């Protein structure tokens, strides 16, 4: 089948992050269409907007836009209607409905979601916390964390820590090695804050073999040995049972899926 090509415009009077992300999510549902995405951020004048719209006609582009300025929003609606362009306003229809629900008018403040507020600084603090306490660097930090991640090597501890940190959640993680002594602080942490990560033996072996090859080493080593991996998994499972903590198998799950399970099960605000 011949691949279809389509121009997609993300237009905004702010950074354009929302319209660009939304358009990517929508168009990803059509893998046979080759997307040429263009992002137009901080559009402030009618002249600038009209120039973009004229280009859209030439490329027969699909438009996804977030325009807080009502005049600009109406220009896009009128233009796309007259020129039969497919366009999606992904801001104002929702603001209007929410406003009707609460009998209030939206502020239409440009970039309101990106204002420096307490949540912003909480997120930065959480990211710093994750960086400072990654890979068991500071066991005492477990006593101040919102979430403590445990897991043997290659169970996504670090990427998961930083993903959760971006949701303002303070995370520390501890690698589990059967021969290593566990820090006493672990037993002082509320089990409801602890998450034990595990994986399937076959998946772990493949990941570890690929890791060795990436380092220019042989794929088959003690690190990727089946018996060693199973022993590590058994050790982790026994520890999780003693702690009575939440256990998640990360095999075939994305970081986003695992993070969603954690925030839901631990009832964390996001």
Residue 156 marked ligand-binding: yes
Residue 157 marked ligand-binding: yes
Q: Which residue, 150, 178, 153, 147, is CA-closest to 165?
A: 147
Residue 254 marked ligand-binding: no
Residue 14 marked ligand-binding: no
Residue 140 marked ligand-binding: no
Residue 154 marked ligand-binding: yes
Please, what sign has the CA dihedral across residues 20, 25, 29, 32? positive
For the chain, the C-alpha Rg in angstroms (whole number) is 24
**Strand pairing class (33-40; 87-89):** unpaired
Residue 151 marked ligand-binding: yes
**Annotated binding-site ranges for ADP:** 151-158
**Annotated binding-site ranges:** 151-158
């Amino acid at each position: 089948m011949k691949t279809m090509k389509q121009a997609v415009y993300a237009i905004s009077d702010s950074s354009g992050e929302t319209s660009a992300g939304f358009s990517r999510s929508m168009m990803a549902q059509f893998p046979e269409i080759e997307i040429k995405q263009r992002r137009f951020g901080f559009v402030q004048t009618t002249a600038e907007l009209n120039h973009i719209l004229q280009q859209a006609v030439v490329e027969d582009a699909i438009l996804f836009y977030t325009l807080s300025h009502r005049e600009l929003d109406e220009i896009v609606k009128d233009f796309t209607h007259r020129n039969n362009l497919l366009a999606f306003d992904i801001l104002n229809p929702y603001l209007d409905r929410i406003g009707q629900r609460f009998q209030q008018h939206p502020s239409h403040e440009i970039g309101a979601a990106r204002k420096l507020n307490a949540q912003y600084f909480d997120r930065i603090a959480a990211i710093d916390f994750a960086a400072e306490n990654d890979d068991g660097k500071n066991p005492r930090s477990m006593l101040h964390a919102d979430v403590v991640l445990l897991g043997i090597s290659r169970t996504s501890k670090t990427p998961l820590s930083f993903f959760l940190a971006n949701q303002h959640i303070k995370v520390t993680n501890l690698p589990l090695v059967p021969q290593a002594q566990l820090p006493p602080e672990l037993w002082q942490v509320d089990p409801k804050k602890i998450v034990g990560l595990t994986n399937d033996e076959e998946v772990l072996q493949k990941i570890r073999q690929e890791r060795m090859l990436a380092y220019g080493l042989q794929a088959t080593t003690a690190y990727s040995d089946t018996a060693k991996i199973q022993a590590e998994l058994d050790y982790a499972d026994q520890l999780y049972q003693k702690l009575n903590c939440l256990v998640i198998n990360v095999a075939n799950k994305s970081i986003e899926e695992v993070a969603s399970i954690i925030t839901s099960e631990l009832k964390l605000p996001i």
